[in-house]
Amino acid sequence: MISRKFFLFFLCSSIVTSAISVSLGQGFLMLAVISFLLQRQLPDRPRNIFLIASLFWSAQILILLFNYANSGFEFMELKRGWNSETKDVFLFFGFLCFTILKKEELPLIKKSFLIFTIVLVSTGFISIFSDYRLGWLISSLYRDMKSWGFQHNYSRIGSLSINLPIGLMNTHLTYGGLLLLVYPWIFFRFLYSIVSKEVTKIRLLWFGFILIATIVFLLNNARSSMIGAGFGLFVGTIIWIQRKLPRPNRLWIPVLCLIIVIAGSFVSWKVSEPFRRVVAPLLGSEKHTDSGRNFIWDSTFQLIQANPWFGVGPGHYGSEIEIARKERSETFPELVYFYEVTQRGHAHNDYFHIAAIYGIPVLILYFLLVYFIANSVFISKLEFPDIGWTFGIVGFFLAGLLQCYFQDDEVVIFFWFIVGYLYQSNRLETNESSQ
């Protein structure tokens, strides 16, 4: 009984602290996994998501070991491969921890999700007005800081600094990826407060919260995550309509909110250069990363074409992409500048990156994982607003067409928590129905 309480405490702490620091989140996850193993409780008969995800990660480990053996068992090959892409297999244990949860324990998980969301949005809002990165505050607790990282500044309004919000994260894309996963729930929680006729104070509270989250999301300016969140809202709306849930009785409330947003945006566009810089890319204006993707993807295709079955192997994307770009530069000398200046860290597309690193068969397993997770969302019996947590993961897969969110451990740890919540909720519901 005591070990069970420790297990729940560590798991919930991992969820909450993932909004503060990935190191804290993974530290508590490790403690949760140790407690999970001490439970001596095996998950019930594995189902589709469990099986496909296990095959997906097993295939990656096998390819890592294959490259290790092919290198003559050089330890650096193993270390490089593990530290680059393969180490994220540990985050899958976050999903495994959910497979032994009981129905009466799920409300505690939902409270942890709520606290995570509040911390994520509030720190993002605070970071708008901070000249320094808030994440460095956490780092300063366990290491000496010789300097403090500055935020990306939009402008100043009097003495007030307006910056790109990243919360406690390291990059705006990481923060945008996390916001993508929770924003649909925030929206449907607000909508639920209207249709369920909660007291006015609660409705105003949720209206204020979604307004702050929207401002933060807009200023964060990660378009791929916005597209993903928008798709998650679309999926949620379809499910809302399919379940024949009531529409807001006071339709003028969302209409008035829409008018205020449009009017405020129009005025801001006219008087604020920083606002124009934020919104213009959302309306089709090109950012510097747009044309860069063409060259990144073109180079990545060369890797996939040359290594279709097993990929270039984890830890080799950087070195292999350099070779591919030099070859493309020789073929198209007029484009040599663009091949040289575009980013090299990843493929800016989850699907291309997985195919380049591990090969097309592993990509097929990822497609199957996408299918089974999306299908589980549509057949889920979770009620609103709880099902809102799952809409973000559907949008996550769409956002992966434009960015490598699945390669970001700060985002993936919370992704597996939500998938675990979806999986276990559906499994418990199925077991109850069959009894």
Percent composition of the chain: helix, strand, coil (DSSP 3-state, to 5): 75, 5, 25
Whether residues 127 and 194 fall in one domain = yes
Last residue of a domain, one of 255, 283, 311: 283
Whether residues 35 and 88 fall in one domain = yes
Is the pTM value of this prediction over 0.85?
A: yes
Q: How far apart are CA 13 and CA 250, in angstroms?
A: 39
Specify the pLDDT at position 274.
53
Specify the pLDDT at position 271.
45
Q: How far apart are CA 184 and CA 399, in angstroms?
A: 14
Whether residues 83 and 135 fall in one domain = no
Domain count, the chain: 2
Whether residues 107 and 124 fall in one domain = no
> 36-42 long-range CB contacts below 8 Å, 24 or more apart?
36/7, 36/93, 36/96, 36/97, 36/100, 38/3, 38/7, 39/3, 39/4, 39/7, 39/100, 41/100, 42/100
Q: Which residues pair with 153 in a beta bridge?
A: 163
Task: Give residue 16's domain range.
Answer: 2-112+358-434
Distances (CA, A) of 108 to 114, 358, 434: 10, 37, 25
Asked if residues 387 and 380 have their Cβ atoms less than 8 Å apart, the reply is: yes
Q: How far apart are CA 169 and CA 216, in angstroms?
A: 14
pLDDT tens for each residue of the chain, 435 residues long:
667 899 999 999 999 999 998 889 999 999 999 998 887 776 777 778 999 999 999 999 999 999 999 888 898 989 999 998 899 999 999 999 999 999 999 999 999 999 999 999 999 999 988 888 887 777 777 667 666 677 777 777 777 888 889 999 988 899 999 999 999 999 999 888 888 878 889 988 998 899 899 889 888 888 889 899 989 999 998 998 888 766 655 555 555 555 555 655 554 555 455 555 555 555 555 555 656 788 889 899 999 999 999 999 999 998 899 998 888 888 888 888 888 878 777 889 999 999 999 999 999 999 999 999 999 999 998 999 999 999 999 999 999 998 999 999 999 999 999 999 999 999 988 877 766
Give backbone dihedrals phi and psi of 248, rounded to 5 degrees, phi first.
-60, 130
E runs forming strands in 338-415 = none
Last residue of a domain, one of 241, 265, 283: 283
Asked if residues 110 and 10 have their Cβ atoms less than 8 Å apart, the reply is: no
Q: Which residues contact 110 (CB under 8 A, 6 or more apart)?
A: 386, 389
Distances (CA, A) of 314 to 62, 226, 358, 407: 11, 29, 7, 12
Whether residues 152 and 96 fall in one domain = no
